[in-house]
Amino acid sequence: RLYERSQLPLSGKKVVVTAGGTVERIDPVRYISNDSSGKMGFALAKAAHELGADVTLLAANTHLPLPAGIRVVHLESAQEMYDAVLAEWSVTDILVKAAAVADYRAKEVSDRKIKKSGETLTLELVKNIDILESLGKQKTKQLLIGFAAETNDLEKYAMDKLQRKNCDLLIANDVTREGAGFGTDTNLVNIYDTTGLIESLPLLSKEELGMRIMELAAARLPGAQE
């Protein structure tokens, strides 16, 4: 879809996108993380920028070329991501939580390399804050967009997350399907709002999907036409 420059649907809006996968340190040379590449988040940030938004991209451990015109903040852990999101929160119009946040971190982070000893090693993990859920509770004007990657019972888990985290939109993919999920250049998603399934999209490039999601978000901002 083509827009007149003066009519870009996100002009004057602040969009914050989290991308990548958090890293939770165990010791100076080891960590817990996940397979998120950050591609979906980067595509969303680029789309928001093209639609006229002022975009901040909070990138957790990504190795992708930096998009032009977008402020990028690099960070590592879930706690750092939470602090970075909160710092932008009062001026945020749309928050997109595309990042894969580690659910747990090591209870003790060793400042020295842990030495090999017995036949087994038990690491104690403690739960990280759920960033999206916490922001869902503090929501005023912000539009919140969550993601869910599932291997089964997609609709049930997606709707459960949408409600529990007080999201306006939830983008869900079944990562067992070809072309969907972590590391790929394409994605295959269903989009839910509080009423249930609103779109079941075909296999799309992450770039194209990023644009569809940001257009959908723009149309749902307070005061949007249509």
Between residues 75 and 149, which has the closer beta carbon with respect to Ca ion? 149
Residue nearest to Ca ion (CB): 103
Q: Using CB under 5 A as the criterion, which residues of the chain lie in contact with Ca ion when the complex forms? A: 103
Known binding residues for CTP are: 103, 113, 147, 161, 165
Token digits of residue 216: 């959908």
Reading phi first (left if > 0) and then psi (alpha if -120 to 50, else beta), residue 201 is in beta
Q: Considering CB distances under 5 to 8 angstroms, the limit depending on partner class, which of ligand CTP, Ca ion, none binds residue 161?
A: ligand CTP
Work out the burial of residue 73: count CB atoms within 10 Å of its CB; fewer than 13 is exposed, 13-18 middle, 19 or more buried.
middle
Give me the phi and psi of 159, to 5 degrees please.
-65, -35
CB of 215 vs ligand CTP, minimal distance in Å = 19
Cα–Cα dist 27/7, whole Å? 50
Q: Is the Cβ of residue 61 or residue 128 nearer to ligand CTP in the bound state?
A: 128
Q: Which is nearer to ligand CTP, 53 or 148 (CB)?
A: 148
Q: Where on the chain is the footprint of ligand CTP (CB under 6 A)?
A: 78, 97, 99, 101, 103, 128, 130-132, 146-149, 161
The minimum distance between CB 105 and ligand CTP, in angstroms, equals 10
How would you class 180 by CB atoms within 10 Å of its CB: exposed for 0-12, middle for 13-18, buried for 19 or more? middle
CA–CA gap between residue 174 and residue 64 (Å, rounded): 24
Task: Output the smallest distance, CB 1 to ligand CTP, in A.
Answer: 26
Active site residue 34: yes
What positions carry a catalytic annotation?
Answer: 34
